[in-house]
């Protein structure tokens, strides 16, 4: 699906997408069973490892605390007990509860209703919630809401700057660049973000392993490095 949707589009960002897909295979992101689980994961993900987020989600499920209405009504100390493993225990439980209240107020807790609105309106709502920045908002839109918006994170910026696609880390600028070049297809946007993450974690690391890189021939940094003239872009 993600591959077919690229059609005949010829663009360096397409070529890199296809090489990454061939190299790493489909990533099947986001690792969640429901859109609500995507949201909870996105809210808890800040400054912690994913395994801790998974543990917090397991705790909430085991305690019967895994729907918007129940979390919105739960006392903070109870929530804290279950999500503590995900860190920031003073802020994350309160943010989670406030976000669920927002879902109830806006759409009665029904996510299909919540996401069945213009993207700009939903994004503004998301960004107005405590602890939700552009990356979290767009992750929720893309993976929970089914809206094709390109998610930008530090990995996207690192890889894109090294390849030479842009020379900035400004969120909207990087996002616009991808959205101008990559066809707006939900499966492709989901897959592309996941592939950039896996590439950044395994090969295009802070100290990149360019010799092992599937997109080296398309990367300005990789080519400079081969000629011994590269300065590492973190």
**Contact of 191 with 182, CB cutoff 8 Å:** no
**Helical ranges in the chain per DSSP H:** 12-24, 35-44, 50-62, 68-73, 76-83, 92-107, 111-115, 119-127, 134-139, 154-163, 171-181, 186-202, 220-226
Which residue in the set 10, 182, 221, 229 belongs to the binding site for ligand SF4 (CB under 6 A)?
Answer: 221
Q: How far is the CB of 143 from ligand SF4 (least distance, A)?
A: 24
19 binds ligand SF4 (CB under 6 A): no
Looking at the Cβ atoms of 145 and 208, the one nearer to ligand SF4 is 208
197 binds ligand SF4 (CB under 6 A): no
Looking at the Cβ atoms of 116 and 212, the one nearer to ligand SF4 is 212
* Cα–Cα distance measured from residue 72 to residue 68, given in angstroms and rounded to the nearest whole number: 6
**Contact of 159 with 196, CB cutoff 8 Å:** yes
213 binds ligand SF4 (CB under 6 A): yes
Separation in Å, CA 161 to CA 14, 52, 166, 203:
16, 30, 5, 15
The count of chain residues that interact with ligand SF4, using the rule CB under 6 A, is 14
Looking at the Cβ atoms of 109 and 222, the one nearer to ligand SF4 is 222
In angstroms and rounded to an integer, the radius of gyration of the C-alpha atoms of the chain is 19
Site string for ligand SF4, 143-182 (x = CB under 6 A): ----------------x--xx-------------------
Which tokens go with 182?
């990559």
Q: How far is the CB of 178 from ligand SF4 (least distance, A)?
A: 15
Separation in Å, CA 199 to CA 19, 23, 30, 35, 232:
11, 9, 16, 25, 16
14 binds ligand SF4 (CB under 6 A): no
21 binds ligand SF4 (CB under 6 A): no
| DSSP state for residue 87 in the 8-state scheme | S
Q: How far is CA 124 from the centre of its chain?
A: 17
219 binds ligand SF4 (CB under 6 A): yes
208 binds ligand SF4 (CB under 6 A): yes
Looking at the Cβ atoms of 2 and 163, the one nearer to ligand SF4 is 163
Q: How far is the CB of 199 from ligand SF4 (least distance, A)?
A: 7
Q: How far is the CB of 230 from ligand SF4 (least distance, A)?
A: 8
Q: How far is the CB of 102 from ligand SF4 (least distance, A)?
A: 38
Separation in Å, CA 157 to CA 1, 36, 228:
26, 28, 23
What does the binding site for ligand SF4 look like in residue numbers (CB under 6 A)? 159, 162-163, 203-204, 208-210, 213, 215-216, 219, 221-222
């Amino acid at each position: 699906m993600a591959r077919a949707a690229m059609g005949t589009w010829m663009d360096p960002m397409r070529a890199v997408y296809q090489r990454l897909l061939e190299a790493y295979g489909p990533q099947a992101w986001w690792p969640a069973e429901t859109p609500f689980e995507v949201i909870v994961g996105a809210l808890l993900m800040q400054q912690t490892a994913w395994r801790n987020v998974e543990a917090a989600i397991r705790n909430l499920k085991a305690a019967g605390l895994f729907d918007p209405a129940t979390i919105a009504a739960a006392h903070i100390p109870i929530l804290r007990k279950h999500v503590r493993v995900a860190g920031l225990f003073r802020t994350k439980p309160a943010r989670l509860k406030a976000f669920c209240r927002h879902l109830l107020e806006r759409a009665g807790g029904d996510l299909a209703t919540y996401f069945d609105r213009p993207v700009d309106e939903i994004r503004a709502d998301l960004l107005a919630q405590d602890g939700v920045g552009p990356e979290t908002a767009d992750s929720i839109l893309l993976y929970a809401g089914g809206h094709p918006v390109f998610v930008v994170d530090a990995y996207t910026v690192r890889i894109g700057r090294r390849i030479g696609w842009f020379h900035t880390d400004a969120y909207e600028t990087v996002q616009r660049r991808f959205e101008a070049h990559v066809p707006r297809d939900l499966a492709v946007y989901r897959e592309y973000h996941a592939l950039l993450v896996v590439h950044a974690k395994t090969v295009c690391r802070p100290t990149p392993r360019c010799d092992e890189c599937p997109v080296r021939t398309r990367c300005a940094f990789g080519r400079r490095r081969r000629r011994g003239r590269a300065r590492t872009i973190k």
